[in-house]
Amino acid sequence: MSKKPFRYPEIPSSEITPESVYLRRRDLMKAAGLAAVPLLAAGSRAVTAATTGGAPLEFAPAIGEAGFKTTEDLTPFDDITSYCNFYEFGTDKKDPARYAHEMSVDPWSVVVDGEVGKPGKLNLEDVLSGFDLQERIYRLRCVEAWSMVVPWIGFPLADLLARFEPTSKARYVAFETLYNPKEMRGTRSFTTTIDWPYREGLRMDEAMNPLTLMTVGLYGKTLPNQNGAPIRLVVPWKYGFKSIKSVVRIRLTSKQPPTTWQDLAPREYGFYANVNPDVDHPRWSQATERRLPSSLFKPNRIPTRLFNGYAPQVAHLYKGMDLARYY
């Protein structure tokens, strides 16, 4: 794939994927199933499959509501899939691309329980066939002060939650990542201080915001393992660590749930984690960010924006809150 950035909608991302032919949904399911088998057989092929993503997805472009797409240059596929944070596979940015193929993602299901009228389980097939997928082009701003622009494929978390009928006591949504030490070498590391599984959470109104996306693909195809296959959360106005990968459980709760980074270092990482150039991390400034692709000679440093540029869509959620206290 070309490294040259391009502007949406000059070339729809669906056209630059090697397979530009959209399969019908049933074919897609078959393709996903077939692709999973050789993964375990041949090592070199497994890496390729892990880094290139899987089957083409059928989706509608991000049009209509404000914030659903940006005209900024997309970050190239190779950068998005080779520079990752997914501590289950190690803490080096390259570790997820190296090792995430060791995680099996088929079959996969997500349990939804807690404060809901109809607790239950969603199989990945139900997700892919039961929700209208859309392409959303979002900025992703990591708390470490780098950022990307990603063409995700997904559907609103609100659509998923509605199926399970949240009760009036549901005030928060808690998420958990798969925890399978056999397939996640980072969780077996002697140096890890994380209390696995990786956990995240949102307030109910944040979860219901139309920007909040359950994500199953990027650049027109199913998610590469290192980016959180087969299903992850994307919350574009918050620091990247809120966008929890490879989700297996969604629990609605009446109390604010514990979250991984807040547990590890509560002074440095808060529950809200809204992108904010005026509230610095205790160890570094949050005023600017390195937009990928970025290099020593072309750092591509740009100013960081309040709520990552999504203030028109989300600022009302925090009216009257002291953002320096609720960081």
Nearer to ligand MTE, 164 or 196 (CB): 196
Q: Phi then psi for 200, rounded to 5 degrees? A: -140, 170
Positions 114 through 133 that interact with ligand MTE (CB under 6 A): none
Instruction: Give the residues lining the site for Mo ion (CB under 5 A).
Output: 85, 142, 240-241
219 binds ligand MTE (CB under 6 A): no
Q: Which two tokens stand for residue 61?
A: 């472009």
Nearer to ligand MTE, 156 or 240 (CB): 240
Q: Quick one: residue 275, left, alpha or beta (phi over 0 = left, psi -120 to 50 = alpha)?
A: beta
Nearer to ligand MTE, 166 or 310 (CB): 310
Q: Roughly what angle, to the nearest 10 degrees, separates helices 25-41 and 43-52?
A: 140
Q: Which two tokens stand for residue 305?
A: 């924006």
Nearer to ligand MTE, 25 or 290 (CB): 290
CA 271 – CA 255 distance, rounded (Å): 12
CA 112 – CA 121 distance, rounded (Å): 6
Q: Which stretch binds ligand MTE (CB under 6 A): 43-51, 126-134, 239-247, 319-327?
A: 239-247
Which of 14, 51, 134, 177 contacts ligand MTE by CB under 6 A?
177
Which of 170, 244, 250, 292 contacts ligand MTE by CB under 6 A?
244
Burial class (CB in 10 A: 0-12, 13-18, 19+), 21: exposed
Min dist. Cβ of residue 30 to ligand MTE (A): 26
Min dist. Cβ of residue 224 to ligand MTE (A): 9
Positions 181 through 200 that interact with ligand MTE (CB under 6 A): 198
Residue 34 exposure: Cα atoms within 13 Å on the Cβ side: 7
* Residue whose Cβ sits closest to ligand MTE: 240
Which of 69, 139, 245, 251 contacts ligand MTE by CB under 6 A?
245
What is the x/- site pattern for ligand MTE, positions 67-106, by CB under 6 A?
-----------------xxxxx------------------
Which of 243, 294, 304, 313 contacts ligand MTE by CB under 6 A?
243
Amino acid letter, 164: F
Q: Which does 51 bind (CB under 5 to 8 A by kind): ligand MTE, Mo ion, none?
A: none
Give me the sign of the Cα torsion angle 292, 62, 226, 39: negative
Residue 291 forms beta bridges with which residues?
A: 147
Q: Phi then psi for 127, rounded to 5 degrees? A: -65, -50
